[in-house]
Amino acid sequence: MSETTDPETDTETVPETDTDAALHADHLRLLEALLFASAAPLDEESIALRLPQGSDISALIADLGAHYAGRGVNLVRIAGGWTLRTAPDLGPRLKLEQTVTRKLSRAAIETLAIVAYHQPVTRGEIEEIRGVIVSSGTLDVLMEAGWIAPKGRRETPGRPVTWVTTDQFLTQFGLADRRDLPGIEELKATGLIGPRPDFTLSEQAMSGRPEGAEDEDEDETEVEPLLDAEGEGER
């Protein structure tokens, strides 16, 4: 191993030894593990507290950044600290889209039917037809699905919001127009209108509904009033 001379001081300097290189590599591994395990970006002061005294933090960060440059994970500075993040160009390729199917409750199905056949309809009118209070969550679920939407206000005391079905509702159920909704006789022929089956004990136990809350599965002999399109027109 040869020695070098510093031209400014004309003195001999000791080159980096294998021991120094090994120590630097060890500190680099420790820094890498520290950043990987941290849930938030770490500033240089926080890093210095965890690394051996005398470690050249700036040099270690620069070396680690160079090591990860062009790889799937990059060393980046965020909010005044350092952290490991997925390379920006790989983000879109890592997204996973999954269709989640959610089953509507009986209350949501009945509310949707009332809106479809009686629109525009207010929340109070929905409650009058169903015979129970309609929770805001029921309307929220149908709005999130894109099947109903508010449309103006009824010119009555309190000016309540009126609800109508949307084009997405028609698309979902393959209808060209709301006038294409099946009539009472069609629904009876397909068995969609008729007595409701009694609850089973397991269904009651799974509902977990507190006493006095909206009974989404309340027994009714038939739901024909909900679907009386011919008897209820535009209000």
pLDDT at position 81, please?
92
pLDDT at position 83, please?
92
Reported pTM: 0.43
pLDDT at position 12, please?
42
Architecture of the domain spanning 4-94: Orthogonal Bundle (1.10)
| pLDDT per 10-residue tile (average), the chain, 235 residues | 47 58 89 90 90 89 91 90 90 83 84 89 90 86 90 88 90 84 75 52 43 44 42 44
pLDDT at position 195, please?
55
CATH of domain 106-227: 1.10.10.10
Q: Where are the domains of the chain?
A: 4-94, 106-227
4-94 and 106-227 in the same fold: yes
pLDDT at position 190, please?
64
CA–CA distance, 14 with 11 (Å, rounded to integer): 10
Residues 6+ apart with CB under 8 A from 219: 196, 198, 199
The CA distances from residue 158 to 97, 131, 138, 155, 162, in Å, are: 43, 21, 22, 8, 12
Sequence letter at residue 156: T
Q: How far apart are the first and last CA of the chain?
A: 97
